[in-house]
Structure 1
Amino acid sequence: MIGAVGALLIASCATLSADDRDALTPQQDSAKYPCDVFSYAFCFRKPYGAVVLQRSGPDFEIYQVQGGDSRPFFSLYVGTTPERESDDAVRLRNFKVRGIDVTVNLYLDAEGNDAVELRLSYPTGLKVHVFDARDAVARTALAEVLSGFRACSKLDFTSIECEVAPLFDSDVASVIQQRD
């Protein structure tokens, strides 16, 4: 027996033609293909060859996106109390999309390296904090994820509905990748 998310994945993949499924390569835009990582607030397609680890706490979730070699690319926090924004953060972009406030910052990590973070504030009070994209490889992976990042909402206890159109345009990916 497969769960609701598994059924959703199978249904999503079934909409692709056999040629489209065979043609998936790392160079293609993830926005053209269905999500394969789901939260109740968003979904996205992980970068080619990446692995996503998920942990749940009492009132939050954390997703860690890693390369196939287990090298961390970045993490996503989903909850109501994300880590506080650094006093030294440099605001790269601040905008609103479909009612969600979005901030892109550059900050220094604990080792003193430049890192990029993305903060989403939903009208419901939910926060998504994407952090620790520390180098060109990690920022490229984050840009790829954002090209297909979609807002979702709960329908009931076991179902979610995700928007067809990605939440972000290519400008956000460009801002993130310009850091190198």
Structure 2
Amino acid sequence: MSLEWLVIRLLESMCRMLWGFAPRMIPHIVRRLGPGRSVFWFAANMPRLLLTMHVLGPLRTHLAAVAISLHNGCTYCAYGHAFALELIYLRDRGHLFPVDARTIATWQDMAPRALARRLRHVLEDAGLHAETLWVDRTLALAAGSRPVDRDEARIAHLVRMLGRMNRIAVEAGVEPDEAQNPVNKNAGLKLRYAQLRAASGEA
């Protein structure tokens, strides 16, 4: 039983408690960073991610993560955060987000301006007009702009955190799995989501 194996199981257990599943990414992160650095990386980044969720709200945080991951060409992370966004939107609004996560995750090859337009259009269709400004600022931060306030500093941290995850996922070719949010543990909501998508012909 190696240290690497133990760290993988530890981090998988942590994610399973938090999100209800063990992400396929975990073994790749541990093998890339090494056991010790992986534990340090999670300890340094996960509390900040959870605080950002609390301060900015889960929907805005996942939207930022989707934009960053698409900017970086990462299907795995884009899907995981887009699916979380979908479930949160359904829970809070009572109806489906206009575009499903699998479709959103295919936008990773779009040019930055085209991606920004596409995301703004979807958010407007969803009635999330205030979030369109965050798309523009998030993509600007992902492209290297400096944050101008504390909220943007939180997004800038997401840019750094996801940048590493995106690189590992892309290089390893990790396939999407589930929603990276505690809402993923809501089996009833996920069943309702699947039924609504099936009824809309998008399952």
Q: TM-score when scaled to structure 2? A: 0.27
Which one has a larger percent strand, Structure 1 or Structure 2?
A: 1
Which one has a larger percent helix, Structure 1 or Structure 2?
A: 2
Q: TM-score when scaled to structure 1? A: 0.29
